[in-house]
A = this chain, B = another copy of it.
Amino acid sequence: MRDDALQRLRQVAPGVSFLIAHNAQEALSLAPEADAAYNFCTPDLIQAAPRLRWIQVGSAGVDRYPFQEMRERGITFTNAKEIYGIQLADHNMAFILAFSRQLPFLFRAQEKGVWENRRNFPPGELAGQTLLVVGLGGTGLETARRAAGFGLRITATRRRTDLPKPDFVEAVHPPERLHDLLPEADWVAVCTPLTKDTRDSFHDAEFDLMKRTAYIVCVTRGGIINTEALLRAIDAGKIAGAGLDVTDPEPLPAGHPLWTRKNVILTPHASGHSPHSGERMFDLFCENVRRFAAGEPLLNGVDLELQY
């Protein structure tokens, strides 16, 4: 941690001592004194820290954290949701626009130095098409906001049906309605976190319900879309293509058939990258440290039962 960052933390929470660990072992040795931890979150650490009441992590996806241990100890768990939504949404839209304007085909033509004949590829137009956002959370909301400017009709699923519907979304449905919504979507943006409830939520049955002209994109976590079922759907022409920044397994192994499918765009878990997310994350952390020291409710709490 840089000096100026530490100085800022000391300013927002003058009564708090900050201990810096450079690796997991140092963290373990400092754990007995810790009331809170940032970016150290293992069963070992929790066991070694009897005073621990709060853990903040710098990731939005929290599918690999020790929820049982945190539940048993009543630890408050906060994550980076909405820190990455901006660039993840940019990445979703990059996939959608690349497919709509036939960029994979045209990239390959460019690699060959060929000015393609317009009859060989049919670019689309987003206006009037339907985008289904599966999971209208941080990433889903930012994706919908961007998509609205293109005249896309936007439907969404969201567990929290009590939250207000944004103006730019036509309708928000509970997750159980997914199968009713899939047949009318030209684009499906899977924006849910990976939890026990969402694993494999796109499998053969879901691809069967999609239009043969529809594309699916996902930048949140591999495993929500079942890889083998996706490959079957692609190879059978059940859907038009897929844009994936996350895979299962990840990294996608060399030689995996998805690498060579012409209507699949693969990027290597790059959607979270942005020159600004570190700054946003540190802003959030400072605010949560201030709240923690003041005994106020923390931002970005993760539900330890729902696990997101």
C-beta contact mask, A231-269 vs B, less than 8 Å → 1, else 0? 000000000000000000001101100011000011111
Identify which of residues 88-146 in chain A touch chain B, using a CB-to-CB cut-off of 8 Å: 90-91, 93-94, 97-98, 100-104, 106-111, 113-118, 121-128, 145-146
Q: Which residues of B contact A269 (CB under 8 A)?
A: 118
Query: Does the CB pair B276–A90 fall under 8 Å?
Result: no
Q: Which residues of B contact A102 (CB under 8 A)?
A: 267, 270
Query: Does the CB pair A86–B125 fall under 8 Å?
Result: yes
Query: Does the CB pair B100–A94 fall under 8 Å?
Result: yes
A288 within 8 A of B: no
Q: Which residues of B contact A128 (CB under 8 A)?
A: 276
Query: Does the CB pair B86–A97 fall under 8 Å?
Result: no
Q: Which residues of B contact A97 (CB under 8 A)?
A: 90, 93-94, 97-98
Query: Does the CB pair A124–B265 fall under 8 Å?
Result: no
Q: Which residues of B contact A265 (CB under 8 A)?
A: 103, 107, 110
A148 within 8 A of B: yes
Q: Which residues of B contact A259 (CB under 8 A)?
A: 110, 113
Query: Does the CB pair B118–A268 fall under 8 Å?
Result: yes
A18 within 8 A of B: no
Chain copies in complex: 2
Q: Which residues of B contact A273 (CB under 8 A)?
A: 118, 122-123
Q: Which residues of B contact A117 (CB under 8 A)?
A: 268
Query: Does the CB pair A116–B268 fall under 8 Å?
Result: yes
Known pairs A90-B100, A125-B274; A109 contacts B268 (CB<8 A): yes
> Considering the chains assembled together, what is the distance between the CA atoms of A259 and B110 in angstroms?
6
Q: Which residues of B contact A270 (CB under 8 A)?
A: 101-102, 106, 116, 118, 121, 123
> Considering the chains assembled together, what is the distance between the CA atoms of A53 and B93 in angstroms?
46
A65 within 8 A of B: no
A217 within 8 A of B: no
Known pairs A87-B123, A94-B101, A274-B123; A115 contacts B251 (CB<8 A): yes
Candidates B107, B114, B260; contact of A113 at CB < 8 Å? B260
Query: Does the CB pair B86–A91 fall under 8 Å?
Result: no
Quick one: closest B residue to A106, CB to CB? Answer: B267
> Considering the chains assembled together, what is the distance between the CA atoms of A21 and B289 in angstroms?
76
Candidates B90, B104, B149, B255; contact of A101 at CB < 8 Å? B90
Q: Which residues of B contact A100 (CB under 8 A)?
A: 90, 94
Q: Could you write out 6 A-B pairs with CB less than 8 Å apart?
A: A93-B150, A102-B267, A103-B265, A104-B107, A125-B277, A149-B149
User: Taking beta carbons and an 8 Å cutoff, which residues of A are in contact with B?
Assistant: 86-87, 90-91, 93-94, 97-98, 100-104, 106-111, 113-118, 121-128, 145-151, 251-252, 254-255, 259-260, 265-271, 273-277
Q: A98-B98, A101-B271, A125-B276 are in contact. List 6 more A-B contacts (CB 8 A).
A: A90-B100, A90-B150, A94-B97, A118-B268, A123-B270, A123-B271
